[in-house]
Amino acid sequence: MSKTFYIFIKSKGGESLDWLFIISMVILGMLVSFIFIALRSMSKIEDERGMYIRNKAMANAFKVTVGVLVLNVIERIIFVSRNETTRYQERSSIVFLITISIIYLISLLYERRKNGG
């Protein structure tokens, strides 16, 4: 493991966060691999249908992303208006990225099955 990567992990906190970060990165890597495999297998589909499936899956993932971000802003506004900023917790961007990757993968597989890909 490179020194810079190790320092980045150690700066986050205790040992449990080290493992949590590593496990999160492994899960994210697996999801990216699955998405790549799904997109690669769709390259055999003719252009218009494959593009439609990819666009539909991207649109679904984008809707969920915007919805989650809007809910996060609303939650932040409510906590700030009540002066309860100590109770407000920021969302982890790694968890958010993993969640959106899962949604995109599920949407991509669903649209591929639905549209005969």
List, for residues 37-75, the tens digit of each pLDDT value.
888 877 776 678 888 888 999 999 999 999 999 988 898
* Model confidence pTM above 0.75: no
Q: What is the pLDDT of residue 14?
A: 52
- Per DSSP, the residues of 90-112 read PPPHHHHHHHHHHHHHHHHHHHH
If you ran DSSP here, which 8-state letter would residue 1 be given? -
- Per DSSP, the residues of 32-59 read HHHHHHHHHHGGGS-HHHHHHHHHHHHH
Over residues 13-28, the mean pLDDT reads: 76
Q: How many residues does the chain have?
A: 117
> Of 6-10, 24-28, 35-39, 95-99, where does mean pLDDT reach its minimum?
6-10
